[in-house]
Amino acid sequence: MQRVYLLTCELMIVAVAWALGPSSLRATAQDTFEVNDSHFHLTNYVQEGTSIRDFVHIMGTKVGRAAIFGIPLQQQWSYGNTGNFAPTYYLQTDAPLYYYSFTDASIAMAYRSLPPADRARLDPMITGFNPTDMYAADHVRRVLTTFPGVFSGIGEFTIHKEFVSAKVAGETASLTNRALDRLLDFAGEVGLVVLLHNDVDAPFPKPGQEPYQIVQLRELFTRHPTTTIIWAHIGLGRVVRPVKDQIALVDRALSDPSLGHVHVDLSWDETAKYIVSSPETIAVTADAINRHPDRFLFGTDEVAPSDQQRYLKTYQMYAPLFARLTPSASEQVRKGNYLRLFDEARRRVRAWEKVHAKEDAR
């Protein structure tokens, strides 16, 4: 009963702040909640998941704001492959994945069903585009003008990802594809936050092989200096382990003035397992964050959790890391950087929509 009372009080505070304006909401989220989530999947690989109302309840008094999105890829149920077994995850079948654009409309309609106080806590993202398609940017524009007032960014979308990229039907995504450049150019023009998944290296590289994806990724980031980019998971995965001196590599990138628009998120329990694996990895990561406290964001990367304990599993894993951060750095990673990036995205995207939604309606 006490928990319900506290949750009601928190939501009343957020509702009042929303009525007073974005700056008041930002201060409230900073002071009241424990963490913001830059990376959350409301649905899974077959477009099923937690209802948006249940998710706001799961956020509870712990999570102030969350960037929410579906998964842009649909897992095909191939009877010839799995028979009557209906796979819900890409590792459960050899059947291909394909891009599923309806996810954006589904997320938008779910978001619009919420009361204003709940909507104020969420930042929906557009994901239902094919990054190899020169029309991907047009898809994003169409979604923004069809659902004005909803979206703050694009992603999480994938270019190179272990086990996933090879399963996607059609052309293979690439960091050097002009379609990706056109997409990031448009995101920069509008003010959309970009959440990009790209592995730091191949899953099973040859000994001594140069991680070519780092080179291509840096070149991509450099080509888009006006686009706010979050590199998901620092490029890590289930079997994609940190490359040699990875934290030093990230530190150098974040020290480069030409990459000031690039941020990294610490989402996914698979990322956490590397970072908190030893006192040494915790220390070196904490040192890098303390040097660049404005460039890291926390995210869960949870997919359709059923309760708060499952939802915040990754957050709890990072407790040893947060303990090594300065109080200011911890505040920025857990909350402040999210608010800064997504509040600015909201402001810029709403301004763009105000002009272009009317133009497209003519």
Question: Residue 212 — very low, low, confident or very high, per pLDDT cuts 50/70/90?
Answer: confident
Determine whether 322 is exposed, middle or buried from the number of CB atoms within 10 Å of its CB (0-12, 13-18, 19+). Answer: middle
Q: To the nearest whole number, what is the mean pLDDT of the chain?
A: 90
Whether 274 maps to a domain, the answer reads: yes
Contact 196, 155 (CB under 8 A): yes
pLDDT over 50 (residue 237): yes
176-199, pLDDT tens digit by residue?
999 999 999 999 999 999 999 998
Q: What is the CATH number of the domain that holds 281?
A: 3.20.20.140
Question: Residue 8 — very low, low, confident or very high, per pLDDT cuts 50/70/90?
Answer: low
Site of tokens 């890829």: 73
pLDDT over 90 (residue 175): yes
Please name the residues in contact with 322: beta carbons below 8 A apart, sequence gap of 6 or more: 330, 333, 334
84-101, pLDDT tens digit by residue?
999 999 999 999 999 999
pLDDT score, position 207: 75
pLDDT score, position 77: 97
pLDDT score, position 4: 47
pLDDT over 70 (residue 25): no
Whether 182 maps to a domain, the answer reads: yes
What gap in Å lies between CA 300 and CA 70, rounded to an integer? 14
pLDDT score, position 20: 47
Closest CA to 228 of 52, 67, 26, 42: 67
Cβ count within 10 A of residue 116: 10
Query: SS3 for 120?
Result: coil
Question: Residue 155 — very low, low, confident or very high, per pLDDT cuts 50/70/90?
Answer: very high
Domain that holds residue 228: 36-361
Whether 24 maps to a domain, the answer reads: no
Whether 296 maps to a domain, the answer reads: yes
Whether 347 maps to a domain, the answer reads: yes
Q: Find the mean pLDDT for residues 317-326.
A: 97
Whether 57 maps to a domain, the answer reads: yes
Whether 3 maps to a domain, the answer reads: no
Name the domain count of the chain: 1
pLDDT score, position 214: 87
Whether 15 maps to a domain, the answer reads: no
